Amino acid sequence: MTVFENFPLSDIIYYGIGGKARFVLRVQNKKDLLEALEFIRTKKIKKVLTVGFGSNLLVSDSFFNGAVLWFCRAEFPQIKFLENGLVKVFAGENLDDVIQFSFQHNLIGLEWAGGLPGTIGGGIRGNVGAFGGEIKNSIEKVEVFDIITNEIKVLDNKDLKFSYRNSYVKENKNLIVVNAFFKLSKANEKELAQAKKIYFSHIDYRKKNHPLDYPSCGSVFKNITDKENVERILNVWPDIKEQTEDKWHGKVAMGYVINRLGFSGKTYGGAQVAEKHANYILNKNNATFNDVETLIQEIKDKFNKTFGFYPEVEVEIIS
Ligand SMILES: Cc1cc2nc3c(=O)[nH]c(=O)nc-3n(C[C@H](O)[C@H](O)[C@H](O)COP(=O)(O)OP(=O)(O)OC[C@H]3O[C@@H](n4cnc5c(N)ncnc54)[C@H](O)[C@@H]3O)c2cc1C
């Protein structure tokens, strides 16, 4: 484990936003994690934040008077093919490295995640997903550390209670993902080639359709999936009924809504609602936490005024 003191979180959070933290503890394997937890106990640190790639986090510019457990990939990736056919991965590994590993071993199942930034720990917590795929479909079990009981536990797929961008780990803040065990499918040459094609097509799609030139946190808001809320939107905008059913498979896409509410290109300080995809707020020019939060709040208020309820934020805000 490596200890950094007074370390700027903007250096490790994907958004490039965040104040200094009293301690950042870099964790690259299970041994590091146990050492870091011992450090936290010894120093009697009360505030602890777990961070992976930081690609789903908006962190305050104020001083974080606590310890950040920074899960990182090691120099030699902690991804192992086990005899029982499962792939064991340390939580700090990048999702994309697991995809590369799986392709090298003729395994498929994660190709939907082409171009998606993040670690395995962050991905499991938020049941990361894209293009109809979700990480929950490839997880056999997960090893977690419970910071209340100081125990390592193993949770199987059912225990993890995955749902849309949610999981048991997210609902229980005392749990830290340590290792994940992936169940992937063996592929023949043709199936492998097809999976690689899908993987690269998703990377291309993101390059074409997502604003990747500036730092962001991906989608700021969750799409509207709840039937009752979908109906409330359709009552106000009946003209999108067809595309809700056909194009968005019963959901309402927040990028579309934010654009139609007039926010595309709107700037506050250094932050801007992306023109290419309005559910992204970009760190265009040294944006502060407040710049991004102000835009989020304005969108929420106008949305509520229009439809009578607030949209759910997907990015995690640490204020
Ligand atoms: C350009 C871009 C595109 C994106 N596209 C998508 C997309 O298509 N689909 C999608 O679902 N998301 C998307 N995201 C969001 C993000 O990539 C995912 O949420 C990702 O899984 C977050 O992983 P992370 O390692 O960055 O987690 P972080 O942002 O570091 O953390 C997220 C949460 O997980 C917790 N956490 C991190 N590690 C652990 C651990 N080991 N144990 C327990 N909790 C932990 C953190 O405390 C925090 O609460 C996108 C983001 C960006 C910037």
Instruction: Work out the pLDDT band at 16, boundaries 50, 70, 90.
Output: very high
CATH number for the domain harbouring residue 18: 3.30.43.10
Of 152, 174, 206, which residue is a domain's last?
A: 206
Mean pLDDT (the chain) is: 96
Instruction: Work out the pLDDT band at 307, boundaries 50, 70, 90.
Output: very high
Q: What is the mean pLDDT of residues 160-176?
A: 96
Confirm if 279 and 221 have CB atoms less than 8 A apart. yes
With the most atoms of ligand 1 within 8 angstroms of its CB, the residue from 78, 95, 116, 210 to mutate is 116
CATH number for the domain harbouring residue 184: 3.30.465.10
Q: Is residue 7 over pLDDT 90?
A: yes
As given in the structure block, the two tokens for residue 9 are 């979180």
H helices of the chain, where?
30-42, 95-104, 120-125, 168-171, 189-209, 227-236, 241-246, 254-260, 289-307
Domain residue limits at 102 = 79-206
Q: What is the mean pLDDT of residues 238-261?
A: 95
199 and 109 within one domain: yes
87 and 58 within one domain: no
User: Tens of pLDDT along 199-248?
Assistant: 999 999 999 999 999 999 999 999 999 999 999 999 999 999 999 998 89
CATH number for the domain harbouring residue 254: 3.90.78.10
299 and 248 within one domain: yes
Distance CA 274, CA 288 (A): 16
234 and 194 within one domain: no
Give the residue whose CA is nearest to atom 1 of ligand 1. 218
171 and 255 within one domain: no
50 ligand 1 Cβ < 6 A: yes
| pLDDT for position 40 | 96
User: Tens of pLDDT along 62-111?
Assistant: 999 999 999 999 888 899 999 888 999 999 999 999 999 999 999 999 99
Share of the chain above pLDDT 70, in %: 100
278 ligand 1 Cβ < 6 A: no
Report angle CA 76, 212, 53 to the nearest 5 degrees: 35
> How far apart are the CA of 54 and the centre of ligand 1, in A?
6
With the most atoms of ligand 1 within 8 angstroms of its CB, the residue from 9, 12, 50, 55 to mutate is 55
Distance CA 257, CA 229 (A): 13
> How far apart are the CA of 240 and the centre of ligand 1, in A?
30
User: Tens of pLDDT along 24-59?
Assistant: 999 999 999 999 999 999 999 999 999 999 999 999
217 and 201 within one domain: no
Of 71, 97, 124, which residue is a domain's last?
A: 71
As given in the structure block, the two tokens for residue 240 are 């999108």
187 and 289 within one domain: no
Of 206, 238, 261, which residue is a domain's last?
A: 206
56 and 87 within one domain: no
85 and 46 within one domain: no
128 ligand 1 Cβ < 6 A: yes
Position in ligand 1 atom list of the atom nearest CA 119: 25
Quote the number of domains for the chain.
Answer: 3
Cβ neighbors of 254 (< 8 A, separation 6 or more) are 219, 220, 221, 222, 223, 224, 278, 279, 311
85 and 200 within one domain: yes
| pLDDT for position 61 | 97
| pLDDT for position 75 | 83
Q: Is 252 helix (H, G, I), strand (E, B) or coil?
A: strand
182 and 94 within one domain: yes
H helices of 43-147, where?
95-104, 120-125
Instruction: Work out the pLDDT band at 184, boundaries 50, 70, 90.
Output: very high
202 and 110 within one domain: yes
Place of tokens 């590993």: 101
| pLDDT for position 74 | 87
